[in-house]
Amino acid sequence: QSISQAEKEFILQSLDDVEGQSKHPWRAILTSSAVFACAVVNFCQIWGSNTILTKLPSFLKENFNYEVAPSAFISTLPYLATTIALKIAGSQADRLTGLCTTTQVRRNFTCASFIAQVILMLAGALVLNAIQTSILMSLAVAMRALGWAGYIVNLLDLSPRSAGVMMGLVGSVGTIADITSPLVTGLLTPNNTVEEWNGLFLITAGIFLVGCFVFWFLDSGELKPWSIEKREQDKNSESSSINDFSTNL
């Protein structure tokens, strides 16, 4: 009741127009190298995050005889660090978008995120101090915020109206990592020895690097020709050209 009848009719008409034009290009989405790159890095990120977050307490207990539970601060440190890093990463990504292409920003932030996580995670595995390990591993988890300013928002670059369905596909691939990561971790660390844990972290580092490689070479931050928005732009441009031609006649 707070809007006029004319405004209501305009909104309803706009919704009808969008509904009629928003047929998602499923074939193009499923065969897009950029969507594939986002799915791969999402799988790699979830695998790495799960390995660090869910197994860090066990790693500290078995290797340093350090109980994480009594220390609330240590338990919350990864999430606190991620919150801070996310604010910084988001603002810097927006700032750099005006200086670089969107593709460069997405690639640089995502790959920087993965490389930083590899370095910090391996450093945390090699130090012989529980507190230092906790800090380094927490910083490794926080670096995923750089990736969120890269591949997570990348789907909006490709096709804003189809970003929801693409995120659903990418998220579905990520659930495979949710399921398999704990299982593989258990298989690789049956005795919880230092050698087993180091092997696990090396495998995780390799997964991160694979994701970095795939994203760097396959990703794009540009609006795709198959996107709903691009097709509408082309259609409007064609209609405008026809109208101009008719007027000149």
For residues 115-144, one letter each, b for 16 or more C-beta atoms within 10 angstroms of the residue's C-beta and e for the rest, the string is bbbbbbbbebbeeeebeebbbbbbbbbbbb
Yes or no: say if 142 and 78 are a contact pair by the CB < 8 Å rule.
Answer: yes
Between the two ends of the chain, the Cα-to-Cα distance in Å is: 48
pLDDT at 160: 87
Q: What confidence tens digit (pLDDT) does each residue in 87-103 have?
A: 888 888 878 877 889 99
Q: In the CATH hierarchy, which top-level class contains the domain 36-237?
A: mainly alpha
Q: Which H, E and C letters describe 74-91, residue by residue?
A: HHHHHHHHHHHHHHHHHH
pLDDT at 245: 45
pLDDT at 57: 77
Say which DSSP state 223 is in.
Answer: P
Q: What confidence tens digit (pLDDT) does each residue in 35-65 have?
A: 999 999 999 999 999 888 877 777 787 777 7
Instruction: Give Rg (Cα) of the chain.
Output: 23
Yes or no: say if 151 and 215 are a contact pair by the CB < 8 Å rule.
Answer: yes
How far apart, in whole angstroms, are the C-alpha atoms of residue 3 and residue 219? 43
Positions of the chain with pLDDT under 70: 1-3, 7-22, 68-75, 231, 233-249
How far apart, in whole angstroms, are the C-alpha atoms of residue 147 and residue 109? 6
**DSSP H or E segment with residue 188:** helix 163-188
pLDDT at 20: 46
